[in-house]
Amino acid sequence: MATLQLRDIRKSFGAFEVIKGIDLEIDDREFVVFVGPSGCGKSTLLRMIAGLEEITGGDLMIDGKRINRVGPADRGLAMVFQSYALYPHMTVRQNMAFALRLARVPKAERDRKVDEAARILQLEPYLERRPKDLSGGQRQRVAIGRAIVRQPKVFLFDEPLSNLDAALRGQMRIELLRLHEELNATMIYVTHDQIEAMTMADKIVVLQAGRVEQVGSPLELYHHPANLFVAGFIGSPRMNLMEAKVVETGPTGTSVALPSGPRIEVPIEGGTTANGDAVTLGIRPEGLRIDPAGPIAGTVALVERLGGLTLLHLTIAGSEPMTVQIEGSDATRTHDQIRLAVDPAACHLFDQAGQALPQHARHPLAA
């Protein structure tokens, strides 16, 4: 059982404020991912939760108790570091047992806990080795094992997979999810990799410049981004964003015109926008499809063939370039002139301040 509350958490280095007031609720057994571009403060926030950085302002509560002034070892947390931070002169067993040894746990119990963690992580054959004799993935598992033996209330992960190669990263993602299931623990995970965020999180916290941009389930962020930043940050390839003008607002939706001419009607409430207002139209690359009768005309500048998917990069006269994602292998070639149809349900509108206008229908999976 562990819940975490952050109340207006702030952090300043001198006069420079890096964390600008963060409020967050983390439920028991939740897998929360902090995601954001480099320098957004996500690692600092995690280190503040861990107790490695002092908290300048606000309250950090675990299970309802304020722990701002509690030392890192006494918060009941365990952290997995980006560099793994294994102790190079100790064997795997000694590494994993170090915290227990410092806590004066009897040797028999220490061994039992280490053996248990080693079983979960399939590290049994490596217990007497030193970190330098292990592969990257094995070191990663030892670092996780070191966290497991402490039976923490909350696991903290600081970009733990960024030093692994792509294949291993995919494997470790699945392993971490399995662990989360098996250990039934609350986990906070920091990454800049949105695939890790999308695939692992129960709840994603998108951070930018020390502020929370949006909190929600992966599909909520994907289908209902709260603002331009989240819309551009979540999803790969990126959402197509283009300038447009409101031409008509009605009860069923809003019509916008692209600078290149075509009008698109989208099922979004116009809200406070008036006719003629400039807005930003966002369309996911999979919300576009090739259609000879479609409203948007463009020239293919580049084709990326991924086998299962084909990505077309288009130049549009009088508008920003667009990316189109097509299922399967498509025959379209570079320099082809094509027309695109838009799936209105996959469109987003953002006002001048970059805030999303509410959609009529919520996506069924993004409650």
Partner 1 sequence: MSTTSTPDATLSGSEAEATRKVGPLLVMPSVIVLLAWMIVPLVMTLWFSFQYYNLVDPTTRGFAGIDNYAYLVTDPDFWVSLENTLILLVAVLVITVGLGTLLAVVFNLPFPGRNIARVLAISPFFVMPTVSALIWKNLLMHPIYGVFGALASTLGLPPVDWFAQFPLAAVIAIVSWEWLPFALLILLTAVQSLDHEQREAARMDGAGPLAQFFFITLPHLSRAIGVVIMIETIFLLTVFAEIFVTTSGGPGNATTNLAFLIYARALLQYDIGGASAGGVVAIVLANIVAFFLVRSIARRLEV
Binding site for partner 1 (CB under 8 A): 50-52, 72-74, 77-79, 81-83, 85-89, 98-99, 102-103, 130, 132, 146, 150
| Residue whose CB is less far from partner 1, 12 or 82 | 82
Contacts of 155 (CB under 8 A, 6+ apart): 77, 78, 79, 80, 147, 183, 185, 186, 187, 188
DSSP 238: P
Supply the minimum distance, in Å, between the C-beta of residue 146 and partner 1.
7
Supply the minimum distance, in Å, between the C-beta of residue 53 and partner 1.
10
Are 271 and 287 contacting, i.e. CB atoms less than 8 angstroms apart? no
Return the structure tokens found at 46.
């995690």
| Residue whose CB is less far from partner 1, 128 or 181 | 128
Supply the minimum distance, in Å, between the C-beta of residue 140 and partner 1.
14
| Residue whose CB is less far from partner 1, 84 or 222 | 84
Supply the minimum distance, in Å, between the C-beta of residue 138 and partner 1.
17
| Residue whose CB is less far from partner 1, 77 or 264 | 77
Supply the minimum distance, in Å, between the C-beta of residue 102 and partner 1.
5
How far apart are alpha carbons 115 and 112 in whole angstroms?
5
| SS3 annotation, 257-275 | ECCCCCEEEECECCCCCCC
| Residue whose CB is less far from partner 1, 130 or 313 | 130
How far apart are alpha carbons 275 and 184 in whole angstroms?
52
Return the structure tokens found at 153.
């209330």
Taking alpha carbons only, the member of 206, 223, 248 closest to residue 347 is: 223
